[in-house]
Structure 1
Amino acid sequence: MGTPLGDFIRARRDGTRPEALGLPEHGRRRAPGLRRSDLAARAGISVEYLTRIEQGRDRNPSPAVLNALADALLLDPAERGHLRYLAKITGGECANRPRPAPPARRVRPAVLETLRLLEPGVAAVTNRLGDVLARTAAYESVLAGTGLLDGDAPNLTRYVFTDPRARELFADWEDVADEQAFDLWLGPAAENHEWFVAELAPAAGPDLTRRLHRHAVPRRGELRLHHPSGAELRFARETLELASDAQQLVVFLPADGATAEAVDRLRGPSRGRLRVIS
């Protein structure tokens, strides 16, 4: 049985073309990408050891080995960070862990006050599972009618993968789906991740599971919305990590004048309200 770490290394090996690393082609290959022998040679480790890592039989490679593999695969900083994270959780898989459980939904008063000060901006507090834990009135105005905020416990990841309206709302649905699937690896805790994936996977199907197994580190660009009002909205996103809470404060900044005007229309005359889900 493999591990997330082994799956990630194997996926990156399969996705790396030999010529990109200056290696010669050796005729037809049974699988795309690098041979194990190619990667092992570049990383300075044995093929047997690389095989053990990829197959999950070695769960604790040293930092030096991880760095060598990252160098050999030409990983970028975000991919290197994900490699280190997967090594951390893989190494602890055999330890006694709490049973899978839903994450805490509490948002600290200081964070709520910060969110209030961002009015009339479009902002929300979320966690890596996609729970929308608190939001400004402007966020609620912009997302009203999309289906995301229906119900008492809105969740962006569930919405993206199970609600057909999400494919209409997000102009770049594939990119948004990549982001939400990747974020599931980041918590807010291992037991929360397991609980949520087990709950979501049957409804989400291969669109989710394929992304989880691929470990594709997303390139988070501009967010484009086909709004139900007919407006085309473009937002830049600024994210403040609330590490001690395993939450994020995300601010959506209009990327052009047309979006700013549309947000003003959608927001209407109300100011200062704050919708919190606890």
Structure 2
Amino acid sequence: MDSTVERRTELSQFLRSRRARLRPDDVGLVSYGTRRVPGLRREELAQLAGVSVEYYVRLEQGRNPHVSDVVLESVGRALRLDPAEQDHLRNLARPDRARPTARSRALPRTGAVRPGLRRLIDAQPGPAYLCGPRTEVVAWNARAAAVFGDFARLPDEQRNFAYLVFLDAAYRELFADSLRDKAEATVGFLRVSVGRHPDDPSLASLIGTLAMKSEEFGTLWARQDVHDKGPGRYTLKHPVVGPLALDFEILHLPDAEQVLVGYLPAPGTPAEENLALLASWTG
């Protein structure tokens, strides 16, 4: 794979995938003629967005770098994009103006963690870790290591949640009951990062490695789904203490494009007792 992600190709594939998931009757249009592919035709989407077919074709092909925010918002409404998808469209269509802190440039390498942030992670009552925009694990506390494994023992290229989710058998077994959700969330988060940083060679290399080694990743990547990290719940199958139902919350750190993820036992489950047991063994 090339050391960068081709923005024009990404934009084209994203818009085509969003058209494909809508049918004419979903948006109040009458279907006509034989459809060779699912979803809306380009001319139907152009009609809904209030632009000419020629203009929309140029946009979808990445040949309109000066497209306005008004048009992008109209196209987003026509495609029924959610906020994360709309932001992704803007990043792809206008990388120079989409986000003041995220241009078409390579991401900086992960640096040292601020002492205050390090203390915050260590002070969390449950597992907590800091995740970078390439899904790299930047920092973690002892309970995170007890639950998810000792990240310190992993080579740098494997200390990465996308790598672990798709290529590490033990990690996949840990997420056995929530693996599909975790895989989809991971791919969606990588999509967000690619939209912001298509020129980052490390990010492109990670995606290329996953695409070559994991058929599951390739299938999910082709869907073009976009998800920023948000709160939720995973049910883990820990090899020592058994089931762990954990709720998690996300704190975004925009200055570093990192997220702090903290887990707590789900109410009414044995997870609290099991976590306490793990903590007693790890200190």
Paired residue secondary structure (1:185)? helix
1:169-188 aligned at under 5 Å gives the runs 169-170=174-175, 171-187=177-193
2:32 to 26, 35, 51: 26
Measured in 1, the distance between the counterparts of 2:155 and 2:79 equals 44
The answer as to whether partners of 2:241 and 2:278 remain within 8 angstroms in 1 is no
CA displacement 1:58-103 (0-9 Å, x = unmatched): 23321001110111112222322222233343879xxx966x6772
TM-score, L = length of structure 2: 0.81
- In structure 1, what is the equivalent of residue 255 of structure 2? 244
The answer as to whether partners of 1:124 and 1:135 remain within 8 angstroms in 2 is yes
| Count of residues in Structure 1 that have an aligned counterpart in Structure 2 | 264
1:151 aligned to 2:157?
no
The percentage of aligned residue pairs carrying the same residue is 33
Cα distance, 1:107 vs. partner? 1.3
Flag as ranges the 4+ runs of structure 1 deviating above 4 A.
none
The answer as to whether partners of 1:187 and 1:246 remain within 8 angstroms in 2 is no
1:268 to 261, 277, 280: 280
Measured in 1, the distance between the counterparts of 2:237 and 2:281 equals 23
Equivalent AA in structure 1 for residue 275 of structure 2: V
1:158-237 aligned at under 5 Å gives the runs 158-170=163-175, 171-187=177-193, 190=197, 193-205=200-212, 206-218=215-227, 221-229=232-240, 231-237=242-248
- In structure 1, what is the equivalent of residue 3 of structure 2? none
The answer as to whether partners of 1:242 and 1:249 remain within 8 angstroms in 2 is yes
CA displacement 1:135-190 (0-9 Å, x = unmatched): 11111111238xx6641432111111212333322223222122222222344972
Measured in 1, the distance between the counterparts of 2:36 and 2:233 equals 38
Measured in 1, the distance between the counterparts of 2:165 and 2:86 equals 27
Measured in 2, the distance between the counterparts of 1:42 and 1:191 equals 29
CA displacement 1:200-244 (0-9 Å, x = unmatched): 523543433443343213485422212223622222221111111
C-alpha spacing 1:267/1:103, structure 2 compared with 1 (3 Å): same
The answer as to whether partners of 2:191 and 2:225 remain within 8 angstroms in 1 is no
RMSD: 2.8
Measured in 1, the distance between the counterparts of 2:265 and 2:110 equals 31
Runs (5+) with no aligned partner, structure 2: 1-5
The answer as to whether partners of 2:131 and 2:258 remain within 8 angstroms in 1 is yes
1:76 to 82, 86, 105: 82
1:19-168 aligned at under 5 Å gives the runs 19-89=25-95, 103-118=109-124, 120-144=125-149, 150-153=153-156, 154-168=159-173
Paired residue secondary structure (1:11)? helix
